[in-house]
Each structure stands twice: as C-alpha cells, then as structure tokens.
Amino acid sequence: MNAPNARDTFRLALPTPAGELRAEIAVPTRLIQVSDIVPVMRSLSEQALVLEEKKHERVGETPSCHKGCAACCRMLVPVSPPEAFALKKTVDQLPAAQRDRILQRLATLQHTLNEAGLLGRLVQLSETRTQLSDEDMEPVNREYYARRLPCPFLDDDVCSLYEARPAACRELLVTSPAEWCQEMDNNPVRTVPVPFRVGTALSLLWATITGGVARLIPLPVALDWAERHAGENSVRHNGATLLQMGVEKILGLLRHKA
C-alpha cells in the first residue's frame, strides 16, 4: 500500500513559442480528484509565462502590473470546472470572518448582476451543453466590463485569495502603462502573449473525463456551480493519468497556436 503522501515525479519538456519549458512535476500516487491537479497545471502555465516575460524583457518590454492596480479585477474572469471546485474548497476552508466577507460581497455582486439582467445569462453560460467560442462569450464580457464591478475576492484593491486565484488572472500581464488598463477599450494596451491558456486545457481535460463540453464558468457564479456539481468532483482518478491527460491538452493547444 502506498504511503498517504507518496508521490511520483515526472520530467517534462514542452515546446513553447518562447523556448523549451523543462519542468519536474510531482503528483500523488494515490487516487485524487480532478481539482487536485489544478496547482500542477497552473505551475506549468506560470513557468511558460516566465519564458515569455524574459523574452519581452530582453527587448525592453517589462510588465507594468503591480500590487493594487486591480483594473483587470473588474473583468469577467473565466474559470474551468476543476478550478471552480478548487476555488470553492479554498473559500470553504477560510477563517469564518474572511469567508463571510467574501460570500457577502459575492451576494451583493450577484444582486447587482441580477438587477442588470446579467446573472441569469452567466448561469446559462455555466450550464450550457453547447460548445461556446470566444466570439460567443464576447458580448457578455463587454457588458460585464462596462460596469467595472470589483471581484468579490478584492480587499482594498488587493486579491485576498492571491495564491488560489484563477489561471486567467495569472495570465494577464501588460507592458503598457498600468493606468491604461483603467480604460482598456480606449487605450492600446499591450499584453504579454500567453503560450497556452491552462484554464482552457483544464476545461478540455474536464470535458474528456465527463464526456461533456469544454466549458468555462464565469467567476461570479463559479462557487454556486461547484456546489451544484460537487458530486462530479467526488470521482477519483490516478494522479499520473490526470497529469498525462492535462499535458496532452497543453500540447494540443501549443500545436494549434504554432
């Protein structure tokens, strides 16, 4: 019988546009939930983004993002199903006072969205059985951004769940002046290219496991979605198999981008 904390270590090499990413990844030998693979997948995305940052820094394009600018925290953040489960687990385990503050802000946000006629549309997007494209999502993204509604996880324009924040939040870096992000529709904001979107890879992984669509869930309804679908995350899988499937999804995204 394997020890509870036993892990298998794998060495990976991924051909990203900014160079080869070499990583050593450890996954539990025990059976795990699909949400347990989220930190591993995010680490690969972050290492790939570091290669892109270094590539841009060599030509004098340094990311201008800094603590407290928070303009991107008023965009509609897409969350993959495994991330939604992981995020709910994080919130559930917070100290009661912090958890209650977040849930109250979330309830206020949902009330505002309901008044604006957006909440129902976000729920529909989270539950659709139709495969959606970026173009399908763009109208609601624009309507949401126009309202500049702060993320419920913000405390004084600082992310209170920074270590557990979704992949989409980690992947948005700009090299243009940070203040331009306050009006992204009207300023030529320059972003660091994302080698692959790990949220998309996790969504594709989830679709393969469940036989459904590769959905991305709007953050304001992600905790509710995770609660409704909790039983689907109770199924356990071999950690090495999940990693292999996740890497295959990443490689597919890299090939598509090449």
What CA–CA distances, in Å, run from 97 to 87, 92, 104, 164, 207?
17, 11, 11, 18, 35
Strands 236-238, 154-155: parallel, antiparallel or unpaired by DSSP? Answer: unpaired
What value does the mean pLDDT take over residues 177-204?
89
End-to-end CA, the chain: 43
Model pLDDT, residue 2:
53
CA distance 185 to 211: 37
DSSP classification of residue 35: G
Q: Which of 102, 189, 101, 104 is nearest to 145 (CA)?
A: 189
Helix then strand then coil, in percent of the chain rounded to 5, is 55, 15, 30
Element (H, E) at 27: strand 19-28
242 or 1, greater pLDDT: 242
For the segment 25-73, what is each residue's pLDDT rounded down to a tens digit? 999 888 999 999 999 999 999 999 999 999 988 988 888 888 888 888 9
CA distance 225 to 122: 11
What value does the mean pLDDT take over residues 130-150?
89
Task: Say what the pTM is.
Answer: 0.93
Q: Which two tokens stand for residue 177?
A: 């002046």
What CA–CA distances, in Å, run from 93 to 48, 86, 98, 106?
30, 11, 10, 17
For the segment 13-22, what is each residue's pLDDT rounded down to a tens digit? 999 999 999 9
Polymer length of the chain: 258
Model pLDDT, residue 70:
84
Beta strand extents in the chain (DSSP E only): 7-16, 19-28, 31-33, 78-79, 154-155, 158-159, 217-218, 236-238
